[in-house]
Amino acid sequence: MREYLLTLCVTAAVTYLLTGPVRKFAIVAGAMPEIRARDVHREPTPRLGGIAMFGGLCAGLLVADHLVNLNGVFTLSNEPRALLSGAGLIWLIGVLDDKFEIDALIKLGGQMIAAGVMVMQGLEILWLPIPGIGTVSLTSWQSTLLTVALVVITINAVNFVDGLDGLAAGMVCIAAAAFFMYTYRLWYGYGIEAAAPATLFAAILMGMCLGFLPHNMHPARIFMGDSGSMMIGLVMAAAAISVTGQVDPDALNLNLGGVRNATHAMLPVFIPLLMPLTIIAIPMADLVLAIVRRTWNGQSPFAADRGHLHHRLLEIGHSQSRAVLIMYFWSALFAFGALAISVQSTSMWVVLAIVMLSAIGLVLLLLPRFKPHAPRWAERFVPPRYRRPRGEEATEATEDEAADEAVDESDEKPPIPAGVNGATAVGPRSRFPDRRKAGTTR
């Protein structure tokens, strides 16, 4: 565990330290596209954050290669090299897209090529554990088709949820944490050595996301762009493919006594394979609704609008930070719910806990105006926005909020030119009417 934690910390530190210089490079390189109609940020923000994340990935793999217990992952398996090859290719395509905005079909072709490169180096799904049937071996073309499909779907899923500050990195980090706990249990609990690469990939993925999040939380100073979102999607898919395609169910027969028990024990392997798909369940539903909505309104299905899920959360009253936290909650519920079921699949308490947490999530979703406050004794440890206003401070805070709202409304209105209906010209920064008009003087 200590070596995994060391790898995670090194990956996070390198990613964090590289993000600042990468931001300056992105500004100089002009990787700051204009704000589009569907964007929620107000100022042009540099992209290319994936450069720092790729540096963290390389650093994590390099450190793990020189550790005593993790070195066997590189000597006994070709999967780390396959991951680095596929990640490098998809990262290069993402960098070009962040700078030049290449065509969507070209990106799709690059994603398929990156997945094919990993398959050629042995990172593929070889069999599937199916309850009631046992282990089903896949033919060469079935294995290639399923592996490429899973990689492409996961990449685009992560890319699709990257719509708010810190959303994609946080959701992927949560899923990677749950996946790490599961694969670590397989490796050291059941003695399945083939689960070691997936455990390493999950630890590195957590480090990449944790190192980038401080720069990407609202208000974001830099975006990961397609160079980051597609790459972390590929790493997540590689971890799921590694543990599903390489762990031999026969190794569990010796510990669990029988094919049937081993099949049920391998069912959790099938669940983490679906874990990346749980991230795209809601985005895919949102995509289908968007196509129907645009077609019904006589627009092109590919026309951008502000009707996506994160836009709707903002429209009903949630702030950006609260919308991201809600998405975090549901991502954690899916990921750790699958983990809990894999550990205690027959426990009714797990099902009840998931149902209760789902109810809590629905309540939070339907209460956009709710503002949480910390207890009085804990106010010194939390940011000011979570403290309860007192007496005159509450009145001043209310007046300040009203003034801020008035300033925001005035920003949306264009200045009135001089000579129009007797209006007096004011500068773009002036927010007060000419008092001489009302007969008052300074």
Where is the binding site, in residues?
159, 226
Residue whose entry in the numeric block shows the structure tokens 């999530």: 361
Tell me if 36 sits within 8 A of 311, measured CB to CB: no
According to DSSP, residue 195 is labeled G
Question: What single string gives the DSSP state of each residue in 350-401?
Answer: HHHHHHHHHHHHHHHHT-TT------GGGGGGS-GGGSPP-THHHHHHHHHH
Q: Measured between alpha carbons, how far is 115 from 113 in angstroms, rounded to an integer?
A: 5
Q: How many other CB atoms are there within 10 angstroms of residue 268's CB atom?
A: 20
Residue whose entry in the numeric block shows the structure tokens 């059941």: 190
Tell me if 243 sits within 8 A of 272, measured CB to CB: yes
* Helix-strand-coil split of the chain, %, nearest 5: 70, 0, 30
Query: ω before 433 within 30° of 0 (cis)?
Result: no
Please report the beta strands in 1-41, taking only residues with DSSP state E, as ranges in sequence order.
Answer: none
Candidates 15, 7, 281, 270; CA nearest to 171 is 281
376: its two tokens? 């009085």
Tell me if 222 sits within 8 A of 46, measured CB to CB: yes
Beta-carbon contacts of residue 185 (< 8 Å; ≥ 6 apart): 343
143: its two tokens? 């294995």
423: its two tokens? 């209006």
**Residue ranges of the binding site for Mg(2+):** 159, 226
98: its two tokens? 């962040």
Candidates 60, 53, 41; CA nearest to 225 is 53
- The phi-psi region of residue 28 (left if phi > 0; otherwise alpha if psi is between -120 and 50; otherwise beta) is alpha
The enclosing H or E element of 137 equals: strand 134-137
